Structure 1
Amino acid sequence: MTTNVGILGAGAWGTAVAKVIAEKGIPVDIWSHEESTAEDINQLHENRRFLPEVRLPENLRASTDAEAVANGKEFLILAAPSLYLLDTVKKILSVPSIMEGQTTIGVITKGFIPTKKGPRLILETLEDYLPGFYKHSLVYIAGPSHAEEVSRGKITGLIAASESAKHSIRFRDLLRTNRLLVFSSFDVKGVQVAAASKNVVAIAFGMLDALKTEACKKDIEDMFGDGTESLLLAAGLNEIQLLGRAMGATHPETFTSISGVGDLDVTCRSIFGRNRRFGREIIEKDILASFTSIDDIIERIGEIGYLPEGVVAAKYVYQLAEQYKLKMPISQGVYRILNREIGPLDFLHTFIKDLG
C-alpha cells in the first residue's frame, strides 16, 4: 500500500491537518458532509466555510463519499465532531481495507461519546465497532493547537497517544514537520480526558473574560482580573486531572505536559477558541436566552453558527462527575449555567467563595 491518507471530516481542524500532510507531498483525500465545501476545496483550493483565506495544496482532494475516502488508505484520520463521530465511522465499516485491518487509524476529535452505559472515551467506543485488528492500536492525537495557526505554519506541538508504540510513531512521523512537533505517549485515557474536559473550563474562562471588559462592567462590581483567570485555569486543571485519574489515566505528567496544561491554556486564552467565544457570548450577547436547557442547546447547536464542543462535553463531564462521585465545581457550574439553573455571576461568586 503506497503512502496515502484519508481524513473524515472537513472542518477547520481536519482541513488544517490535511494541508500539513499534503504539503509533504503525500496525497490526501478528505471527506466533507457538505457538497459546497467539497466543491470549494476541489475547485478553489480553499475551505471557505471552515478555514477561509488558507490556500490548500492541489494534492488535497475532497469528496462527499466517505467510503471512497477511506478505502485503500495507509492512514485514516477521523476528524468529525464528537456528536457525529460514531455515525461517521459506521459509514466505513464495510470498506475492504478497514475490514482487513490494513489501514492505521488516528483520531483528532475531542470529546466523549454517549452510549447506553453513559459517556465513554472515544477510542474505547470506536474499538467496539471497528474490526478486532484495531483493539489497542488506535492513535489519539491532541495538543495545544488551533487550525487557524497550524494551517499558517505557526510552530505547534501535539501528542500522539496509543497503546501501540509502533502506530504512535507512525503517526508522529506522518504529521511531524519543522513547524509541527509531535510527541508519543502511552497515556491514551489521560490525553483523551484532557482534550475533552478543557473545553468545559474554556467556557467558564470565556464568561470570566467577558466580565472583565469595560462593556460588561456597567452594572457589575469590578472584582475580576488576570489573577482571577489564573485562579480559574489552575482550578480547572485540577478538575481535569481528577477526572482523568478516575477514568484510568496512567501518567501524572500528562496533565502538566502540552496535552494537559498546554491545551487548556491555549483553549482558554486564544482568540481562535470557539468555547472561549461561546462563554464570552453568554455574557455579551445573552446567547442562552433562546435556549431552555443544555439538551435544547445540543439539539439546536447548529443555530449557534459555530460548534462549541464544550457544551456537549459539559453534559457528559457532569454525568461522569456524578458517576465517579467527584467534586468538580467549575465543570458542574458550567453545566448548571447551560442548563439554565443558575446565572454566571452566581456561579462565579459561589466558586470563589468555595475556594476560600
Structure 2
Amino acid sequence: MNPKSVGVIGAGAWGTGFAQALGRGGHKVTLWALEQEVVDSINNEHENKKFLPGFKLSENLTASTNLEEVATGKDFLILASPSLYLASTVKKLVTIPNIAEGDTYIGVLTKGFVPSKNGPKLCLETIENVLPGIYKGNTVYISGPSHAEEVAMGKLTGLIAACENPKNTIIFRELMRVPGLLAYSSLDVIGVQVCACVKNVIAVVYGCCDAISETSDTFGDNSESLLLAAGLNEIQQFGFALGATHAETFTSIAGVGDLDVTCKSKYGRNRRFGQDIIKKNILSNFKDLDDLINRVSEIGYLPEGAIACKYVHEVSAKLNLKLVICDGLYRILNREVEPEEFLRELLRLKKRVKR
C-alpha cells in the first residue's frame, strides 16, 4: 500500500473512528478538533477521551486545533463536521492552496441536511457550492453501517463511496483498503446521502418503540420489524423524490444495512434518544423541536435524527410527500403527540389523532 497524507476535519466519534481505521492501515492522519482538550488527549494519550473514550489510537494519528495546518498539503481531506457547521467550516478551507487548486481529493462523512437561506440542502450540494468549481461532481460521499466504536476496534465494516465521477469512487476505495474496512462504489450520490440522513429519523422512532415494547402487551419484536420495513419505504420514497437514481441503493449497505444497524445497535445515539424519550421523559425539558435543537448540547450526546427530522419535514412538505413515520417524529419532538399514541395511530390501533 502507498501511504497517503489525510486530514480529517471533525474529531467527533465518527471522524475519530474513521481516522483510526486509516491510521491503522498505515496512512498518516491529522485530525482537526475545536477543543484543545481533545487535541491534547489524542496527542499525549492516544485516546479521544471526550468523544471516543476507551480506544487506543494509532501512532499514525495526530491532532491539531489549527484548521489550515490540518488541511494544507494533504492528499485527501475528509469532512466530518456536524451538519449544522459544515458550510461555515468549508468556507474556511477554500483559500488553502491545495484546495484552491483542486489538488486534494475531498470526501464527506457528515450525515444530515445542511440549513441554508434557500432551505435545507444535502451535504455534497452544500460543499460543492462553496468549494472551487473543480470539485463539482468530484467530491465523494462515504456512508454505510459503521458505528464509530466498531470501526475503531477494527471490526469488519462495509462502506460505500458515492460520487458522480466513477474514477473518484475507485480512488477512495483504494484509500479505504485497510484492515477492517470493505469499500464499494456508487454513482447514486443523492440516494446514498438520503439513506444516511433519514435512517437517523427512523431510528429515533424505533428507539421509542423498543422502549415501549419492554412493558407493552401490544408492541414487540414483530412490531419493530414492521416499523423498520415501513421506515425503509419512506427513505426510498424520499430519495426518489429528491433525485436518487438507483433502486438498489436502498437495498444495499447504504440503505437497509445502515438503517438496520442504526436502529438495533447498542452504540446508536438515535436509538438511545428514542429510548430516553420513553424511559427518561427527556422531552419534558424542551418546549418544542426548535427549542430542543437550540439546546441539543444539554442532552449530553448528539441525536442527529432530531435535527434531521426538522429538515426532512420541511423538504417533504415542499414536495407534498406523505412520510407518516418521519412526520410522526416531528410531531413527537414538537410536543404535539405522545410517542405511544403516535405508534398506535401509525399501526391503526386507534383512530387517527387530529393535529
TM-score by length of 2: 0.96
Aligned to 1:263: 258
Equivalent in 338, 343, 348 of residue 353 of structure 1: 348
Aligned to 1:236: 231
Partners of 2:23 and 2:3 in 1: CA distance: 14
- Residue 113 of structure 1 and its aligned partner are, at CA, apart by 0.7
Task: Rate the CA distance shift 1:41–1:178 in 2: closer, same or farther, 3 A.
Answer: closer
Partners of 2:50 and 2:117 in 1: CA distance: 34
Q: Deviations over 1:74-96 (max 9, x none)?
A: 10000011111112112212111
Aligned to 1:10: 11
Secondary structure at the counterpart of residue 7 of structure 1: strand
Q: Give matches, 1:9-158, under 5 Å.
A: 9-158=10-159
Q: Deviations over 1:131-178 (max 9, x none)?
A: 001000000000011000011011110100001111111111111234
Partners of 2:349 and 2:5 in 1: CA distance: 53
Partners of 1:306 and 1:313 in 2: CA distance: 15
Q: Deviations over 1:261-293 (max 9, x none)?
A: 000000000000000000000000000001001
- Residue 355 of structure 1 and its aligned partner are, at CA, apart by 11
Consecutive unaligned residues in structure 2, runs of 5 or more: none
2:317 is aligned with 1:335: no
Q: Give matches, 1:183-194, under 5 Å.
A: 183-194=184-195
Q: Deviations over 1:101-156 (max 9, x none)?
A: 11000001100011122111110111110000100000000001100001101111
What is the identity, as a one-letter code, of the residue corresponding to 2:147? H
2:228 is aligned with 1:227: no
Equivalent in 302, 309, 315 of residue 304 of structure 2: 309
Task: Rate the CA distance shift 1:131–1:2 in 2: closer, same or farther, 3 A.
Answer: farther
Task: Rate the CA distance shift 1:88–1:210 in 2: closer, same or farther, 3 A.
Answer: same
Query: Retained in 1: the 8 A contact 2:207–2:275?
Result: yes
Q: Deviations over 1:175-198 (max 9, x none)?
A: 123421000000000000000000
Secondary structure at the counterpart of residue 173 of structure 2: helix
Secondary structure at the counterpart of residue 347 of structure 2: helix
Query: Retained in 2: the 8 A contact 1:6–1:70?
Result: yes
Partners of 1:338 and 1:212 in 2: CA distance: 20
Partners of 2:67 and 2:349 in 1: CA distance: 49
Partners of 2:102 and 2:179 in 1: CA distance: 31
Consecutive unaligned residues in structure 1, runs of 5 or more: none
Instruction: Please identify runs of 4+ aligned residues in structure 1 that moved more than 6 A.
Output: none
TM-score by length of 1: 0.96
Aligned to 1:204: 205
Partners of 1:260 and 1:2 in 2: CA distance: 31
Aligned to 2:183: 182
Task: Rate the CA distance shift 1:303–1:9 in 2: closer, same or farther, 3 A.
Answer: same
Partners of 1:2 and 1:282 in 2: CA distance: 45
Partners of 1:3 and 1:57 in 2: CA distance: 15
- Residue 354 of structure 1 and its aligned partner are, at CA, apart by 8.2
2:196 is aligned with 1:195: yes
Aligned length: 350
Identity of aligned residues (%): 57
Partners of 2:231 and 2:297 in 1: CA distance: 27
Partners of 2:57 and 2:80 in 1: CA distance: 17
Q: Deviations over 1:47-80 (max 9, x none)?
A: 0111111111122110001111001111000001
What is the identity, as a one-letter code, of the residue corresponding to 2:126? T
Secondary structure at the counterpart of residue 44 of structure 2: helix
Q: Deviations over 1:329-349 (max 9, x none)?
A: 000000010011111011111
Partners of 2:295 and 2:68 in 1: CA distance: 28
- Residue 3 of structure 1 and its aligned partner are, at CA, apart by 2.5
Query: Retained in 1: the 8 A contact 2:3–2:27?
Result: no
Query: Retained in 1: the 8 A contact 2:76–2:105?
Result: yes
Partners of 1:271 and 1:232 in 2: CA distance: 18
Partners of 1:298 and 1:94 in 2: CA distance: 31
2:280 is aligned with 1:285: yes
Secondary structure at the counterpart of residue 353 of structure 1: coil
Partners of 1:210 and 1:74 in 2: CA distance: 45
- Residue 97 of structure 1 and its aligned partner are, at CA, apart by 0.7
Partners of 2:258 and 2:30 in 1: CA distance: 28
Query: Retained in 2: the 8 A contact 1:2–1:74?
Result: no
What is the identity, as a one-letter code, of the residue corresponding to 2:210? D
Equivalent in 264, 269, 272 of residue 267 of structure 2: 272
